[in-house]
């Protein structure tokens, strides 16, 4: 869908020109916003339905193909070597964790498009900002089809000039008032998804089955460009566990499942880095982090992490509120 407001459906433009306003705020939030000088103008929405045809079964990036030749591993990729040599055709002699940048891009495109459409409606309504945003995403009939839906209430700041861009926030009402009082102005919502695919190496397989194994896996790779900040990266990467690093000297059971631990850590950190790239030097407030793990096939898993929150900018110096006074209520 084109970005231009001129391409909004005609019915939308006609409705937004109506003299009656609409709002998705609760009565409490509505009253609080009026008190702050925010005037609701329209209940705005954005939709986007995405199909991920390259995702899951039928993916060209199936086990056996080298993701390094594709676009994988933008921030993170790591390979795990088998210590056993050739054992058999079904032996997982190598394993990989890699960031699926194409999946992340598809999620970002879906969310971003729905967001832009919502902001487009707000712009058309002459709003300065959108508050009380609620975003949902759900699978439609097919597992490969996802609907992104954002709603919010477009508002005008009474007595202020229109900002360079419409500002947006998940907050509304008293929570927004407290944010302003604390010295932070919302800039925009920020959201990103990270997806890490895990192709188990033999030792990981043995550990997940609780079986005894020999040797230690060799690791290559890590977080590209994140090593200094995260402290995890490069060969070996700083992870250690029982059963690893012992060469081929005898059997071991248990121990840390290093490959999966690193995949889970990477998914969360990559999501944070994606959001960080969106917020610049501003602050991400009220972040929500959700993680999903699913098994695509035997020895083939995917860990996805969605991180979202409100990007806020400090407009005055650190100015703490008085320490709240504890109270005990008599009933």
Partner 1 sequence: MSPSEPGRPPARPPAEVDVRAELLRAVRCLAHPTDQARGSTSDLSIDEALMLHSVGWEPIDLICGVSLESIPYGVWNWGSGEIGAASAAQTQAVQAAADRLREECLSVSGYGVVGVRVELEVHRHHADAVLVGTAVRPADAKRAPASPFVSDLSARDFALLASAGWEPMGLAFGTSFVYAPRRSVGKVLSQKTQNVELTNFTEAMYSAREAAMERMQSSAITVGATGVVAVRVEEGPMPFAHHSIRFTAWGTAVRPGPSGHRRIAPQVVVSVNDARSQFEASALRD
Interacting residues with partner 1 between 54 and 93 (CB under 8 A): none
Tokens linked to 105: 């891009």
Q: Is 260 in the site for partner 1 (CB under 8 A)?
A: yes
Q: Are 150 and 133 in contact (CB under 8 A)?
A: yes
Q: Is 197 in the site for partner 1 (CB under 8 A)?
A: no
Taking the least distance from each CB to partner 1, the nearer of 55 and 167 is 167
Q: Is 208 in the site for partner 1 (CB under 8 A)?
A: yes
Instruction: Give residues 137-176 in contact with partner 1 (rule: CB under 8 A).
Output: 157-160, 163-165, 167, 171, 175
Q: Is 234 in the site for partner 1 (CB under 8 A)?
A: no
Q: Is 245 in the site for partner 1 (CB under 8 A)?
A: no
Question: Of 243, 255, 182, whose CA–CA distance to 215 is shortest?
Answer: 243
To the nearest whole angstrom, how small is the minimum distance from the Cβ of residue 182 to partner 1? 6
Binding mask 99-138 for partner 1 (x = CB under 8 A): -----------------------------x----------
Question: Of 231, 230, 201, whose CA–CA distance to 218 is shortest?
Answer: 201
- CA-based R_g, the chain, Å: 25
Burial (CB count within 10 angstroms: exposed 0-12, middle 13-18, buried 19+), residue 91: middle
Q: Which residues of 17-27 are buried (b: 16+ CB within 10 A; e: fewer)?
A: eeeebebbbee
Out of 112, 144, 218, 255, name the contact with partner 1 by CB under 8 A.
255
Taking the least distance from each CB to partner 1, the nearer of 235 and 238 is 238
For β-strands 167-168 and 129-139, DSSP reports them as: parallel
Cα 269 from Cα 232, distance rounded (Å): 10
Q: Kind and range of the H or E element at 273? A: helix 258-279
Instruction: Give residues 272-301 in contact with partner 1 (rule: CB under 8 A).
Output: 272, 275-276, 279-289, 291
Q: Is 321 in the site for partner 1 (CB under 8 A)?
A: yes
Taking the least distance from each CB to partner 1, the nearer of 74 and 272 is 272
Helices 27-36 and 173-181, packing angle to 10 deg: 30
Taking the least distance from each CB to partner 1, the nearer of 49 and 212 is 212
To the nearest whole angstrom, how small is the minimum distance from the Cβ of residue 295 to partner 1? 12
């Amino acid at each position: 869908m084109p970005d231009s407001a001129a391409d909004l459906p005609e019915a939308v433009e006609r409705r937004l020109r109506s003299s009656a306003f609409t709002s998705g705020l609760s009565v409490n939030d509505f009253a609080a916003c009026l008190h702050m000088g925010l005037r609701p103008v329209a209940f705005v929405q954005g939709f986007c339905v995405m199909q991920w045809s390259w995702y899951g079964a039928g993916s060209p990036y199936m086990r056996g193909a080298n993701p390094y030749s594709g676009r994988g591993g933008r921030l993170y990729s790591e390979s795990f070597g088998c210590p056993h040599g050739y054992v058999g055709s079904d032996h997982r002699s190598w394993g990989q964790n890699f960031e699926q940048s194409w999946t992340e891009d598809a999620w970002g495109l879906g969310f971003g498009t729905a967001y832009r459409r919502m902001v487009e409606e707000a712009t058309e309504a002459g709003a300065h900002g959108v508050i009380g945003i609620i975003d949902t995403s759900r699978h439609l009939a097919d597992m490969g089809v996802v609907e992104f839906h954002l709603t919010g209430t477009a508002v005008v700041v009474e007595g202020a000039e229109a900002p360079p861009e419409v500002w947006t926030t998940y907050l509304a009402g008293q929570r927004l008032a407290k944010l302003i009082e604390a010295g932070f102005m919302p800039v925009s919502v920020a959201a990103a998804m990270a997806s890490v695919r895990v192709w188990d190496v033999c030792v990981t397989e043995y550990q997940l089955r609780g079986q005894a194994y020999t040797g230690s896996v060799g690791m290559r790779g890590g977080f590209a460009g994140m090593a200094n900040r995260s402290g995890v990266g490069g060969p070996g990467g700083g992870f250690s566990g029982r059963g690893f690093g012992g060469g081929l000297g005898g059997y071991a059971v248990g121990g840390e499942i290093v490959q999966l631990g690193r995949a889970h850590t990477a998914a969360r950190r990559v999501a944070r880095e994606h959001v960080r790239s969106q917020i610049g030097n501003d602050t991400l407030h009220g972040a929500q982090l959700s993680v999903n793990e699913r098994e695509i096939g035997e020895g083939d898993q995917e860990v996805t992490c969605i991180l979202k929150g409100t990007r806020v900018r400090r407009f005055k110096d650190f100015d703490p509120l008085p320490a709240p006074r504890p109270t005990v209520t008599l009933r």
